[in-house]
Amino acid sequence: MTESPNELILDPPVALAPLAGITDLPFRSLVSRFGAGLVVSEMIASGEFLTARPGTREKAELGAGIENSAVQIAGCAPGPMAEAARMVEAMGATVIDINMGCPAKKVTGGMSGSALMRDLDHALRLIEAVAEAVRVPVTLKTRLGWDDTTLNAPELARRAEAAGVRRIVVHGRTRCQFYKGRADWTAIRAVTEAVQVPVIANGDIRSAGEARDALADSDAAGVMIGRGAQGRPWLLAQVAHELYGTPAPEIPKGKELVDMITEHYEAMLSFYGADLGNRVGRKHLGWYMDEAGTPPGLRRELLTCREPRRVLALIPQAILDTEQVAA
């Protein structure tokens, strides 16, 4: 890949993927605190955003203007996509990412997300509408194609670059694969060879070793990590340190880990309110306990508890006591 004079720098080139229901502001803030080149918001549906459906506008407002943060939008019509982009830019977004990679049926059924890879002419109309509507950099996240017979990510990338897209993230699977099998990092190389803008490799990157392999296979300019960071918000910083020599994160253990998890849980309670925050927090608490090896009975008790005060009391038992036994 030849360096472009208009390259959008990602430093360090390790980014947090947008994950619906997971990469909310509390989690993105935690990952950023450890160290990441970029964190991306949950996907915002442009149509719902413009009609102010409860929950969507708030997602856009979450960290839109925070440094090293991007807001991701999705949709199926140029007009709403352009208007949503303008509104997000006005809220302070410094980078706007277009989602053409989400495989969820409720998204593709509305001709959004990865469904757009079935009609590149229409996909390009959306990209052009967004790029022409805003002054901030526009990026694109996509997959290899709709299925194994339409691996058209290189063509989409070329056309997106010509329309003004400044960076492209490619998940190494087709839409029809969803998350089955293994991400094909080698297949991403066709995209890096097709464009001059930076290409970021995504999919099944859960360690520095896998990140190194993904870079070698794809010739990408960086990596994007999603599910690998669940229960390990320090992973991006750890990968950046091992691959690029950035400061090593202080990975919390013992009481420090309990304090971090408690702070994360309390941030979710504050952000969502007690009832919803407790429900949303369960998935993160579950991942933390998976990493700690919490006994099934205690894990079940914590994840079914409806009283935040009781959850807070159980966290040290689920994490600290488990670590002490393991030691």
Quote the radius of gyration of the chain (alpha carbons, Å). Answer: 20
Helix axes 296-304, 308-316, angle to 10 degrees: 160
Distance CA 69, CA 57 (A): 17
Distance CA 235, CA 225 (A): 9
For residue 277, say whether it is annotated as part of any ligand binding site: no
321 DSSP 8-state letter = I
For residue 317, say whether it is annotated as part of any ligand binding site: no
Q: What angle is formed at CA 131 by the lines to CA 130 and CA 136, rounded to 5 degrees? A: 105
For residue 122, say whether it is annotated as part of any ligand binding site: no
DSSP line for 16-29: EPP-TTTS-HHHHH
- Phi and psi at 69, nearest 5°, equal -130, 145
Residue 323 neighbours by CB under 8 Å, 6+ apart? 253, 254, 257, 292
Q: Is 102 a catalytic residue?
A: yes
The pair of structure tokens assigned to 311 is: 């959850």
Catalytic residue among 76, 102, 176, 305: 102
Distance CA 136, CA 85 (A): 10
For residue 106, say whether it is annotated as part of any ligand binding site: no
For residue 238, say whether it is annotated as part of any ligand binding site: no
Residue 325 neighbours by CB under 8 Å, 6+ apart? none
Half-sphere exposure of 187 toward its Cβ, with a 13 Å CA cutoff?
Answer: 19
Distance CA 248, CA 235 (A): 10
Binding-site residues sit at: 72, 141, 171, 226-227
Catalytic positions:
102
Could you tell me which residues are annotated as the binding site for FMN? Answer: 72, 141, 171, 226-227
